[in-house]
Structure 1
Amino acid sequence: MIQAVSFGLLDSLNALLIGVIVALGVMLPRNAAYRRIVTLLIAGDWFGVFVLSFITMVVFDGIRDLVQRALDSPVFGILLIITGVLTFVATLRGDGGGDSPLVRRILDPLQAPSFKTVVVGFILGLAQSATSIPFFTGLAYLSAGDYHAAVRYGGLVVYASLALSLPALSAVFVGLVRAYPYSVFGRAFEWMRGNREVVVKLASYIVAVALTLFGVVKLL
């Protein structure tokens, strides 16, 4: 269970969703319905993560023996290390700003709270999770664990919530900045906005190092 929680928290380092939330905080007028928009966006994202989690759990439960053998195999640890190293190298060579055009396209239907806001969040949740190694690894541990079906599937609610924990905190932080622009939160936000490349790269480095360490521990 600890492994599943750890990988769920790693999955919360969702640079794209956090980037969208920050961009909304900057671009929306002060009288705009920021809270409602972000709440609907995160709710849709959560539902996307939950749906993919449920589908993945059903698949993993159907091949549980294979999943368990994969987790027990040293090959799994080696794959985690390779993924971590490749992520580190890609982050080192990247400019940290590759999501900007995509973020701008996503913002168009998010100018006011509507059903489209939930749909955008849902798509973001599916896309982020489907391309996340920590997401599938955490579910593999949850599926392979000796837990009752009610615990495994009920735990998906917590798992999806963990995956959205950092974006949700980011939304609260940005909301505080909008309400108190000259507070310590406002100054911190200005620094982060001026150093977006550093912030994005730091999140990627954390994921890369964590995956590598998990792989090393698995081999010991």
Structure 2
Amino acid sequence: MLHAVSFALMDSLNALLIGVIVALGVMLPRTGPYRRIAVLLIVGDWLGVLLLSLVTMLVFDGLGDLVQQALESPVFGILLILTGVVTLLLTLRGSGDGDSALVRRLLGPLQTPSSKTVGIGLVLGLVQSATSIPFFTGLAFLSAGDYGVAIRYVGLIVYASLALSLPALSAVFVGMVRNYPYSPFGRAFDAMRERRELMVKLAGYVVAVALTLFGVGTLL
């Protein structure tokens, strides 16, 4: 279970969704509907993560012992290490601002809270999770664990919530900054916004190192 939780938390380093939330907080006027938009966006993203988690768990359960054999194979550890190294290289070469154009494109439909807000969040959740190695790895550990069916599938709710924990905290933080712009939260927000490239790269480094360490641990 600890492995599944660890990989879910790694998956919460969702730079795109956090970037959209921060951009909304900066762009919308103080009296704008930031809170409702942020809540609907995160709910939609959570639904997307939960939906893909359910489909993935059904597939992994259908594979049976093959999932456990894959997790115990040295090939799995090597793949984690290689993914960590590739993530590190991409982070080193990236500008830290690669999502800015996509963020700007997403902001247009997010000016007012609506069902479209939930839909955009749903798509973001599906895309982010479908391209995330930690997401699938955590679910593989959950599927292969010695847990009952009810615990595994109810646990998907917790898994999806953990995967959205950092974006949700970011939304709360941005909301506090909007309400108290001259507070310590406001100053911290300004400092992070001025160092956006560093923050994005730091998230990439954390994921890269974590994947590499998990891979090494699997081989030992």
- 2:184 corresponds to which residue? 184
Supply the AA of the counterpart residue of 1:146.
D
- SS of corresponding position for 2:158: helix
Provide the rounded CA distance (Å) in 1 between the counterparts of 2:141 and 2:157: 16
- 1:146 corresponds to which residue? 146
Q: Which runs of 4+ in 1 moved over 3 A?
A: none
- 1:162 corresponds to which residue? 162
- 2:35 corresponds to which residue? 35
| 2:82 equivalent to 1:82 | yes
Provide the rounded CA distance (Å) in 1 between the counterparts of 2:13 and 2:47: 17
- 1:129 corresponds to which residue? 129
- Measured after TM superposition, the shift of residue 72 of structure 1 is 0.4
- 1:71 corresponds to which residue? 71
| 2:25 equivalent to 1:58 | no
Provide the rounded CA distance (Å) in 2 between the counterparts of 1:96 and 1:186: 22
Of stretches 44-53 and 62-71 in structure 1, the one that deviates more from structure 2 is 62-71
- 2:23 corresponds to which residue? 23
CA RMSD of aligned residues (A): 0.4
- 2:218 corresponds to which residue? 218
Identity of aligned residues (%): 75
Supply the AA of the counterpart residue of 1:65.
D
- Measured after TM superposition, the shift of residue 65 of structure 1 is 1.1
Provide the rounded CA distance (Å) in 2 between the counterparts of 1:35 and 1:78: 43
- SS of corresponding position for 2:98: coil
- SS of corresponding position for 2:147: coil
- Measured after TM superposition, the shift of residue 64 of structure 1 is 1.9
- Measured after TM superposition, the shift of residue 6 of structure 1 is 0.4
Provide the rounded CA distance (Å) in 2 between the counterparts of 1:94 and 1:129: 21
| 2:172 equivalent to 1:172 | yes
- SS of corresponding position for 1:147: coil
- Measured after TM superposition, the shift of residue 172 of structure 1 is 0.4
- Measured after TM superposition, the shift of residue 80 of structure 1 is 0.2
| 2:107 equivalent to 1:107 | yes
Provide the rounded CA distance (Å) in 2 between the counterparts of 1:97 and 1:46: 24
- 1:193 corresponds to which residue? 193
- Measured after TM superposition, the shift of residue 50 of structure 1 is 0.1
- Measured after TM superposition, the shift of residue 200 of structure 1 is 0.3
Supply the AA of the counterpart residue of 2:131.
T
Map 1:203-214 onto structure 2 (within 5 A).
203-214=203-214
Supply the AA of the counterpart residue of 2:94.
G
TM-score (norm 1): 0.99
- Measured after TM superposition, the shift of residue 162 of structure 1 is 0.1
Q: Which runs of 5+ in 2 are unaligned?
A: none
Provide the rounded CA distance (Å) in 1 between the counterparts of 2:81 and 2:5: 19
